[in-house]
DNA sequence: GAGTTTTGTAACCGTTATGATATAAATATG
DNA sequence: CATATTTATATCATAACGGTTACAAAACTC
């Protein structure tokens, strides 16, 4: 379900940095130090985007892409290059590429460009990353909102975490100690009553009319998602 | 409820061996050949421990864990690695991991380490013996309710404890002293009559019509579940 | 750094669980 | 049948608990 990005860079440090950063924002990555096995992988795997250094030791980037295109591989490409000369970008050398970013690059910018390219290629924005489903609710951990019967409700960080662990443990009664340990990691100095209030606030958010009893209280024990 | 261990190893043979061994000592396992869907599973399932090869083809283990930690996923991790150099272990490469074992590993040792980590982390994995069955009733110790002929009846903590010990000792007459000692642990200062009342209230809950005599009174002795 | 939002705590209050007690009912015994 | 003993039921008192609200502290935002 996640988008998979193939990265080619001969500098191992940069490669790792890229992989880590892209993974951390929810992409799957496949890293390569050379173009050696890339074509094969492109044929076998579902790759959504290629991110490659234009100045590889073995082959010039745009040449390689040209080759791919001739083989009917049309995966979008973003080039990374040390050359920041506008000329290069303009004069068609980046033929076949969908975007271009120069080293040293800002990771935020790169991610934005990646998103843009993917969006362009991907009509359906599959933002299905990091969502939890439970009955009629869909919890989006990234956006910090829960969608219940097609209405979106913004949640705070705490509310999100709370709902998340409740969904993860649906059907189980979670006592206050458990919740404190797992949500307020600073276990000790959190008042038990605090949980009551947090639960109350969450209940209020996800069920303002108070007609659906999502969260049930077991007196003397704790709470559970029924 | 069994503890659930998520395993990531690109070597299918090892993966199967691990799954088989851990299953046979009572753990539930979820095996993966790559980290591809792992994160989503971690979000959705209640995973108690991650066991992963540190040298996966697609990503270095500790990097992956670092990413997980940055996403507030704090499931404990044990790394398996071919590298047995003490250096690696020491120099913080296993940052975020809770333990480390080197290939080839002894299964007994691995299981011991798993136990140790789980114990350390274990959110008081309470005796989740969850449900007790008796005739047409199903007592859910977790939810504190008893299901009789498909209708759920909420019980209080005391009622639950009472019914639990009665089911555990079905067919045996339990005198009031026994019940006081086992249910009201504060043994002494509990009035014998209190048991009568508690039993009466339980009877009322589980059989409002008073047609089924679940709990029988043995005059001069105590009560039993027939 | 001012202003807004989120979050923890304390206080208050209604509710509930439950132990005790008084009384009624049931059961045993002679 | 009469009486004694045991148990069931009803009622009351109270302590514990959870929901609610208000407010202060902390964390974000611009």
The DSSP code sequence of B87-100 is HHHHTTTTTT-SEE
Work out the pLDDT band at A127, boundaries 50, 70, 90.
very low
- CA angle at A175 for the pair A174 and A179, rounded to the nearest 5°: 75
* pLDDT tens-place string over residues A152-174: 999 999 999 999 999 988 888 99
Whether residue B80 is found in the same domain as residue B139: no
Give, rounded to a whole angstrom, the gap between the first and last alpha carbons of chain B. 29
Does B66 reside within a domain?
Answer: yes
Of B43, B46, B58, the CB nearest to A130: B43
Q: What is the pLDDT of residue B91?
A: 46
A29 token code pair: 């990555």
Listed ranges A112-121, B64-73, B153-162; the one with the highest mean pLDDT: B153-162
Does B102 reside within a domain?
Answer: yes
Does B126 reside within a domain?
Answer: no
CB proximity B197–strand D (7 Å threshold): yes
Q: What is the pLDDT of residue B73?
A: 80
The H or E element containing residue A195 is: helix A192-206
| Distance in angstroms (rounded) separating the CA atoms of residues B8 and A111 | 28
* pLDDT tens-place string over residues B117-172: 887 765 444 444 578 889 889 999 989 999 998 899 999 999 999 999 999 899 89
Single out the residue in A121, A154, A186 at which a domain terminates: A121
CATH number, domain containing residue B10: 3.40.50.2300
Percent helix, strand, coil in chain B (nearest 5)? 40, 25, 40
Assess whether pLDDT exceeds 50 at residue A93.
no
Work out the pLDDT band at A204, boundaries 50, 70, 90.
very high
| Distance in angstroms (rounded) separating the CA atoms of residues B182 and B180 | 6
Whether residue B100 is found in the same domain as residue B162: no
Assess whether pLDDT exceeds 90 at residue A5.
yes
Assess whether pLDDT exceeds 60 at residue A88.
no
Of the two residues B99 and A97, the one the predictor is more confident about is B99
Assess whether pLDDT exceeds 80 at residue B71.
no
Closest CA to B165 of B176, B152, B153, B154: B176
Closest CA to B64 of A22, A6, A160: A22
Q: Which nucleotide is nearest to A216 (CA to C1')?
A: D18
Percent of chain A predicted with pLDDT > 70 = 85
Q: What is the pLDDT of residue B38?
A: 86
Q: What is the pLDDT of residue B161?
A: 94
Straight-line distance from CA A157 to C1' D28, in Å? 12
Q: What is the mean pLDDT of residues A105-122?
A: 77
Q: What is the mean pLDDT of residues B31-35?
A: 87
Beta pairing partners, A77: A50
Work out the pLDDT band at A68, boundaries 50, 70, 90.
confident
Q: What is the mean pLDDT of residues A17-21?
A: 89
| Distance in angstroms (rounded) separating the CA atoms of residues A124 and A130 | 17
Q: What is the mean pLDDT of chain A?
A: 82
Single out the residue in B90, B121, B152 at which a domain terminates: B121
Whether residue A111 is found in the same domain as residue A24: yes
* pLDDT tens-place string over residues B75-126: 888 988 876 555 555 544 456 677 878 777 888 888 988 888 887 765 444 4
| Distance in angstroms (rounded) separating the CA atoms of residues A52 and A14 | 11
| Distance in angstroms (rounded) separating the CA atoms of residues A204 and A224 | 15
The alpha carbon of residue B103 and the mean position of all alpha carbons in its chain are separated, in whole angstroms, by 30
Q: What is the pLDDT of residue A90?
A: 47
Assess whether pLDDT exceeds 80 at residue A34.
yes
A178 touches chain B (CB under 8 A): yes
A187 token code pair: 């276990």
CB pair distance less than 8 Å for A161 and B58: no
Assess whether pLDDT exceeds 80 at residue A150.
yes
CA distances from B173 to A51, A214, B136, B162, B193 (A): 75, 40, 20, 13, 17
Q: Are A81 and A61 in contact (CB under 8 A)?
A: yes
Whether residue B110 is found in the same domain as residue B35: yes
The H or E element containing residue A96 is: none
Does A126 reside within a domain?
Answer: no
Whether residue B89 is found in the same domain as residue B141: no
B60 touches chain A (CB under 8 A): yes
Q: Which nucleotide is nearest to A200 (CA to C1')?
A: D19
Percent helix, strand, coil in chain A (nearest 5)? 40, 25, 40
Q: Residue B104: is the preceding peptide bond cis (ω within 30°)?
A: yes
Single out the residue in B101, B121, B141 at which a domain terminates: B121
Of the two residues A122 and B53, the one the predictor is more confident about is B53
B57 touches chain A (CB under 8 A): no
Q: What is the pLDDT of residue B217?
A: 93
Of B39, B123, B142, the CB nearest to A178: B123
Percent of chain B predicted with pLDDT > 70 = 87
Of the two residues B189 and B138, the one the predictor is more confident about is B138
Whether residue B86 is found in the same domain as residue B159: no
Q: What is the mean pLDDT of residues A205-217?
A: 91
Radius of gyration of chain A (CA): 24
Of A16, A19, A224, the CB nearest to B143: A224
Of the two residues A161 and B64, the one the predictor is more confident about is A161
Q: What is the mean pLDDT of residues A94-98?
A: 63
| Distance in angstroms (rounded) separating the CA atoms of residues A195 and A184 | 10
Work out the pLDDT band at A128, boundaries 50, 70, 90.
very low
Does A62 reside within a domain?
Answer: yes
Q: What is the mean pLDDT of residues A102-123?
A: 74
Assess whether pLDDT exceeds 60 at residue A129.
no
**Torsion (CA) A85, A88, A90, A92 in degrees, nearest 10:** -170
- At B157, give phi and psi (nearest 5°): -60, -45
Residues 169-198 of A with CB under 7 A from strand C: 184, 189-191, 193-194, 197-198
Q: Residue A176: is the preceding peptide bond cis (ω within 30°)?
A: no
CATH number, domain containing residue B146: 1.10.10.10
Of the two residues B51 and A66, the one the predictor is more confident about is B51
Whether residue A188 is found in the same domain as residue A144: yes
Of the two residues A101 and A144, the one the predictor is more confident about is A144
Range of the domain at B74: 4-121
Q: Which nucleotide is nearest to B157 (CA to C1')?
A: C17
Straight-line distance from CA B80 to C1' C16, in Å? 52
Q: How many domains does the structure of chain B reveal?
A: 2
Q: What is the mean pLDDT of chain B?
A: 83
């Amino acid at each position: 379900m996640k988008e998979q990005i193939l990265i080619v860079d001969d500098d191992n440090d940069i490669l790792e940095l890229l992989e880590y950063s892209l993974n951390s924002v929810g992409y799957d990555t496949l890293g390569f130090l050379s173009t050696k096995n890339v074509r094969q992988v492109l044929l076998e795997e579902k790759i959504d985007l290629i991110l490659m250094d234009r100045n590889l030791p073995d082959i010039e980037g745009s040449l390689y892409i040209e080759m791919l295109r001739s083989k009917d591989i049309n995966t979008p490409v973003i080039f990374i290059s040390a050359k920041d000369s506008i000329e290069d970008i303009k004069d068609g050398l980046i033929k076949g590429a969908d975007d271009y970013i120069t080293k040293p690059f800002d990771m935020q910018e790169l991610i934005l460009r990646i998103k843009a390219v993917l969006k362009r290629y991907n009509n359906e924005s599959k933002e299905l990353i990091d969502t939890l489903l439970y009955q009629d609710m869909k919890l989006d951990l990234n956006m910090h909102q829960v969608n219940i019967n097609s209405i979106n409700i913004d949640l705070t960080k705490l509310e999100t975490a709370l709902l998340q662990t409740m969904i993860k443990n649906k059907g189980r009664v979670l006592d206050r100690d458990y919740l404190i340990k797992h949500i307020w990691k600073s276990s000790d100095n959190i008042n038990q009553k605090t949980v009551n209030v947090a639960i109350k606030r969450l209940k209020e958010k996800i069920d303002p009319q108070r007609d659906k009893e999502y969260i049930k209280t077991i007196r003397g024990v704790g709470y559970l998602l029924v």
